[in-house]
Amino acid sequence: MALVLRGTVVTCDSDHRILDPGAVYVGDDGRLAAVREAGQTPPAGFSSAPVIDTGALILPGLIDLHNHLLYNTLPLWEAVGVPYLHHDRWVGEKHPPDYATSVTWPAKVLGQAAPEALIKYVEVKALVGGVTAIQGAPLSTRPVDGWLLRTIDNEKLPAGADMVMTAALQLDADELREERAPRLDGTRLLIYHVAEGKPGSIVHREFDDLEPCLKPGLIGVHGTALTAADFKKWQSAVTTINPAEKATVVWSPFSNYWLYHTTTDVVEADKKGLRIALGSDWSPSGTKNVLGELKVADSVNRHELGGRFTDRELCDMVTANPGDALATAWGPQVGRLERGSAADLLVLERHDPATDPYRNLIDATERHVRLVLVRGRPFYGTRALMAAAGASDTSALTVAGLSRRVAVRDPHRADATLDWPGVKRALEKVREDPVAAWRAAQDALADWGGPLDDPDAPLALFGDMPEGDTGAFAAAGEVPLDLVVPRLDPLAHDAAYFAAVARGGVPELQHLADYYP
C-alpha cells in the first residue's frame, strides 16, 4: 500500500542530503514516489496515505554484497591451524579435521531436509540487522527468489532477466576468458572470489587469470592478496572502457582476520579509485549481519588504518557503494533514497542524538532496528510500526531481549508456507535426528526422478563452498552416523559469540564486543 514515513531521512544520495525532518513516500508499486522535506507538498496520490511519524532515522536498507547463505544457521567456527595461508588450506584435501563435521555436513543436511526453513531463518537473521538485499544464494534444484530479502544472485531487476553471474569457487582461466568476459558487456555483473589469502601466496595467480574480466560489472570479493599495483591495474582497465566507472572490491574484515590474520588493503584500493563495499561472508567465520561487519570495519579503520575513512564513507560501504556496483545490472534501484528507487528501507532508532546519523548507524545494534521494508512491504520491526505499515500474518520473536514481529509466511506462494514458529520447528526436527532427515530427503529426490532444474522439482539446497557443491555431493550412506547439527546460531550478536571471538585471540577483532554493551 502507499505509505508515508517521516523522520530524519538519511538519503545517501549523490549529495548525501540529510532531511531533518523529512518524508519518504512509498508507492504501492514498491518504489519511492518522492523523498522530500517534511513540510513540502506531498506528491499526487498520497493525500490519504497512512503517515507514520517514526521519530527515528530512515535510511536505505543495508546491502550485504558477499555472503554464503546456506551456512548461516551455524555458529562461529573455531578453526584449528589458523592463520591459513590461503583458501585452499582450510578446505579441500587439506582441510582441518573438524571442517566436514562442523560446517559441511550440518549445512548439507539442513539444506536437503529443511530448505524452506533454512532460507527463511537466515533471511530473518539478516533482516534483524537491517539488511534488505544480500548476495550468496545457495545452489538449488530450482531458482528461489528471496522470500523476504532481495537475493542478489536471483533478483531480476529491472527487465525480468537474470543479469548477475556469481562464482564462489575458482573458474578455469579459459572459461573466464571465453565465457564470462564476453558477457561483461556493460549490462551484466560477475561477483567473483579472487586472491583470498595472504599477500605473496599462490592465490595471487587468480587475479592474473581474471584479467580478461577486468571490466565494468566485475565485483571482486576479498582480494586480500592483491597489491597496490593490482588495484591500479584493475581500476585502469575499468576506466579505459568507461571513464566514469569504478571497480568494486568487497571487504569482509572479520572473516579475513579470523582465517588469515590479515585483510584486504582497502587503503590502497581507495587510493587507486576503487569503490569498497562490505560483506559479512558467512557465520562460520564472520559476523551475524552486515550491521555487525560495519563495526568491524569501523574498528579496523580506527585502530589499524589511522582513520582513513570517515563515518559517512564507512556507511556508504553498506548502502550507496554496493548499490552503485549493482546499478550496472539493476539500474539505480538500491542503496540511495531517491525518487524511483526501490522502497527498501531501514528505520533505525536514533539512540545517540548527540552524534550524527552516520555514527548512529555504525554504533547501532540489532536492538535499534525498528522497521525494515523490502519492495515497500514491512517484513520486520516493532509491533507498533509493523501494524502501522500494514503488516499482516506476522509472528512474534525476541531479538536481543526485545519483542519484535516478523512477516515470514506468504499465503500467495505455495513454496513459502512456513511461519516463524514453523521455521524453527522444521530446523529443530532435523537437528533431533540428522541422519534420518538426510536419508528421507535423499529418498524424496530419488522418488522425484525428474530433472532437478524443473520448476516442480522438490526444493533442495547445495553449498557454494568446496565439498558443498552439487558435483561433490555425497551419497546417503556417507553421512556421518554420529553427526551433530549445532544449535541454531542466534539472530543477534550475543555473549556466546563474543566469548568465541575472545578465544580466537585475533587482536584486530577484540574491539567488536565494545559496540554491544
Give the tens place of pLDDT for each residue, 275-301: 999 999 999 999 999 999 999 999 999
Residue 378 backbone phi and psi in degrees, to 5: -80, 125
**Helices 105-113 and 434-448: angle between axes, nearest 10 degrees:** 50
| Percentage of the residues of the chain whose pLDDT score is greater than 70 | 95
Return the sign of the alpha-carbon dihedral for residues 352, 356, 357, 358. Answer: negative
DSSP label at residue 41: P
- Tens of pLDDT, residue by residue over 191-234, are 999 999 999 999 999 999 999 999 999 999 999 999 999 999 99
Mean predicted confidence (pLDDT) in 143-156: 86
Residue 374 backbone phi and psi in degrees, to 5: -125, 125
**pLDDT reading at 455 higher than 80:** no
- Tens of pLDDT, residue by residue over 3-53, are 999 999 999 999 999 999 999 999 999 999 999 999 899 999 998 999 999
Whole-number mean pLDDT of the chain?
Answer: 93
Q: Please, which pLDDT band fits residue 447 given cuts at 50, 70 and 90?
A: confident
pLDDT of residue 389: 97
CA distance 77 to 283: 8
Mean predicted confidence (pLDDT) in 405-418: 87
pLDDT of residue 474: 41
CA distance 237 to 285: 32
The answer to whether the predicted template modeling score (pTM) of the entire model surpasses 0.85 is yes
Residues in the chain: 517
Residue 339: exposure state from Cβ atoms within 10 A (0-12, 13-18, ≥19)? middle
22: left (phi over 0), alpha (psi -120 to 50) or beta: beta
DSSP-derived pairing of the beta strands 369-374 and 377-381: antiparallel
Question: 230 Cβ partners below 8 Å, 6+ apart?
Answer: 195, 204, 207, 223
Q: Please, which pLDDT band fits residue 95 given cuts at 50, 70 and 90?
A: low
pLDDT of residue 469: 45
DSSP label at residue 476: G
Mean predicted confidence (pLDDT) in 84-90: 83
pLDDT of residue 90: 66
pLDDT of residue 471: 37
Question: 163 Cβ partners below 8 Å, 6+ apart?
Answer: 156, 187, 188, 189, 329, 330
**pLDDT reading at 473 higher than 70:** no
